[in-house]
Amino acid sequence: MKVIEAKIVVLGSQGVGKTSLVVRYIGKMFSKHISPTIGASFFTCNISVDDARVKLQVWDTAGQERFRSMAPMYYRNANAALLVFDISSLNSFQAIKGWVKELQSNVPEPMVMSVVGNKCDLESSRAVPHAEAAQYAASIGAQYCETSALHDQGIEQVFVTTAAALLRLAGAGTNLRSYDSADEDRLLSGAPTEETPTHTGRIELPAWSIDNIAHGEPRNTCC
């Protein structure tokens, strides 16, 4: 079985439902009283597509402006990005365009982008027309989905199509880490062990090469 590992970053303005989306997909639940993310949260999940498996490292980032400067730490070396906006807020849609520009100028490697219009249960107060968002997504070569974390609509699809796109990307020979499951026993030695870790994490974690960890060096960023 083919297995690939990918890093995916979830970006978007505050309050659009990034954490709700991820928690709905990974934790299979929804809470109305979720507190704002501080910094970023880290999740992992496995998605099976056809006869291949995608291991996703999900970085759910904070949307508040004060964390904006930390974003490069999370999107560096990412293989995919979920750009989330709230269909009832035009500003949050405009913010997506800023994120796309930033990603395009700062991430040299090819990246799977998905534009996600969340809160589609708020159809009555929609501020971003479906067609406009879909058209924009097409213009940047991204897929467009509308979701509702509240009603659990469309979220599965976002992750599955992203995983499928990542598989295609891996097939095209990129820096995505892929291996056959025959290797997997060996690679599983990267799972937590009792051994004392060293300070770099390089030795115990062959699955996470140092290049896949966000580094602190500033690049020339767009804003």
Partner 1 sequence: MSSSSIDNVQPSTSAQNNTSDELEPGACPDSILDPTDSFEEFASEMSSSLQSRHIALTTKSSTISEIQCEINKDFKESSEIKSTKSSEDLQNKNDSMSESGSSSNLIDQNNEELDSDKEDYLHSPELINKEKHVFILSSAGKPIYSRYGNEDKLAGLCGVIQALVSVVEDQNHDILRSITTKDCKTVFLVKGPLILVAISKSNESETQLVLQLTYAFNQIVSVLTLTQLNRIFEQRRNYDLRRLLSGAERLIDNLLIFMEKDPAFLLGAVRCLPLPEKSRESITNAITSTCNKIRDLVFAILIAGNQLITLVRMKKYTLHPSDIHLLFNLVRSTESFKSAESWTPICLPKFDASGFLHGHVSYIAEDCQACLILLTVQRDAFFPLSQAKHTIAEKLRRSNCLGAINDALNRNEDLPTTNPLRHIGILEIRHFMYKCKSTAQLFTSDPVSIDRPQDNRTRPKEGGDIVEKKIEKLSDIDYVSNYRKFCSQIHCTSTPAKLIFRSNSDNTILAWVTNGFELYVTFDALMEKDQAIKAVDRLLRWIKKEEQRIFIMNAPTF
Residues that bind partner 1 (CB under 8 A): 14, 19, 23, 27, 31, 33-43, 60, 62, 64-70, 73, 192-194, 196-201, 204-205, 208, 213-218, 221, 223
Q: In whole angstroms, how close is the CB of 90 to partner 1 at the nearest point?
A: 14
The CA-atom distances, in angstroms, between 172 and each of 42, 53, 167, 176 are 27, 17, 9, 10
In this complex, which beta carbon is closest to partner 1, that of residue 71 or of residue 165? Answer: 71
Q: How far apart are CA 89 and CA 156, in angstroms?
A: 23
Q: Quick one: 95 or 165, whose CB is closer to partner 1? A: 95
- Least distance CB 133 / partner 1 (angstroms): 23
**At residue 127, what are phi and psi to the nearest 5 degrees?**
-115, -15
- Taking residue 185's Cβ as centre, other Cβ atoms within 10 Å add up to 8
CB-nearer residue toward partner 1: 1 or 38: 38
Write down the residue that tokens 């964390």 correspond to: 67
Q: Least distance (Å) from partner 1 to the CB of residue 27?
A: 6
Q: Which distant-in-sequence residues (6+ apart) come within 8 Å of 129 by Cβ? A: none
Percentages of the chain per state (helix, strand, coil), in multiples of 5: 40, 25, 40
Q: Which is nearer to partner 1, 139 or 196 (by Cβ)?
A: 196
Contact 165, 49 (CB under 8 A): no
Min separation Cβ 130 and partner 1, Å: 27
Q: Nearer to partner 1 by C-beta: 92 or 143?
A: 92
**Nearest distance, CB of residue 82 and partner 1, angstroms:** 16
- Whole-angstrom distance, CA of residue 8 vs CA of residue 60: 9
Shortest distance, position 34 Cβ to partner 1, whole Å: 6
Task: Determine contact, residues 15/88, Cβ cutoff 8 Å.
Answer: no
Residue nearer to partner 1 on the CB measure, 141 or 197: 197
Bridge partners for 143 per DSSP: 114
